[in-house]
């Protein structure tokens, strides 16, 4: 699955640590999400969606699309 | 691991590989968890120092069987701490710990089986304590490998 977290984080000018703090996860988790090494759980995906005020499907895109 | 004993300080320094230190420190509960684990570890070593003497002194009494099991108290405490720490981790950290535990579990099982068969072939008998050591070492190796995967 691909995502726009890095792009959205850059728009808000947040560091990985700052974003992690807001989502209550570690910087390593943010990095793993951005590099596509880890796909978030549904609750975390909803938290990310709420934080960026965007629908989930505008942040996460299945790899085949 | 360094044991530093002075009149006012009893402290055990456990040095993790650098990137595990960084990853673990990102866990907001790290300082509390480390302090508690350190206390449990110190208690374990102190009890280990005292228990053999107590067992020798009470070798003709039935309670020596209970005395030799005293070091298990801090071990159970460490188990409780570990479970508490796990519940405070974020989902990726939990996944890393789970993969490390699976690595350690099957690694230890493989080592025990391998050495068991080698004993049948003539290698000297070993103690069951070795399995606990292997489990801890393989857990750390598994943690290191899995953690690198998500860096």
Express the helix, strand and coil content of chain B in percent, nearest 5 each.
70, 5, 25
Residue B123 is classified by DSSP as P
Inter-residue contact A6 to A63 (CB < 8 Å): no
Backbone angles phi, psi at A29, to 5 degrees: -65, -45
pLDDT digits (tens, 9 = 90+) for A12-65: 999 999 999 999 999 999 999 999 999 999 999 999 999 999 999 999 998 775
Within 8 A of B26 by CB-CB distance, chain A residues are: 20, 26-28
End-to-end CA distance of chain A: 9
pLDDT confidence of B62, banded at 50, 70, 90? confident
Q: Nearest C-alpha of chain B: how many angstroms from A4?
A: 18
Q: Nearest C-alpha of chain A: how many angstroms from B26?
A: 6
Helix, coil or strand: residue B13: strand
ipTM of predicted assembly, 2 dp: 0.88
pLDDT digits (tens, 9 = 90+) for B30-42: 556 677 778 888 8
Contact B91 A31 (CB under 8 A): no
């Amino acid at each position: 699955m691909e995502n726009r977290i890095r792009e959205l984080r850059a728009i808000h000018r947040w560091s990985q640590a700052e974003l992690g703090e807001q989502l209550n996860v570690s910087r390593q988790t943010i990095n793993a999400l951005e590099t596509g090494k880890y796909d978030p759980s549904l609750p975390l995906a909803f938290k990310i969606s709420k934080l960026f005020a965007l629908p989930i499907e505008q942040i996460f895109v299945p790899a085949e699309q | 691991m360094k044991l530093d004993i002075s009149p006012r300080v009893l402290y055990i320094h456990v040095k993790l590989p650098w990137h595990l230190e960084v990853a673990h420190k990102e866990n907001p509960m790290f300082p509390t968890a480390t302090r508690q684990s350190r206390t449990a570890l110190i208690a374990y070593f102190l009890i280990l120092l005292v228990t053999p003497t107590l067992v020798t002194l009470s070798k003709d009494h039935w309670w020596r069987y209970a005395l030799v099991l005293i070091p298990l108290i801090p071990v159970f405490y460490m188990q409780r701490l570990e479970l508490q720490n796990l519940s405070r981790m974020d989902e990726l950290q939990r996944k890393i710990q789970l993969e490390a535990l699976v690595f350690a579990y099957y690694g230890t099982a493989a080592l025990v089986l391998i050495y068991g068969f080698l004993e049948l072939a003539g290698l000297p008998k070993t103690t069951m304590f070795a399995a606990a050591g292997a489990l801890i070492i393989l857990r750390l190796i598994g943690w290191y490998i899995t953690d690198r995967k998500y860096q």
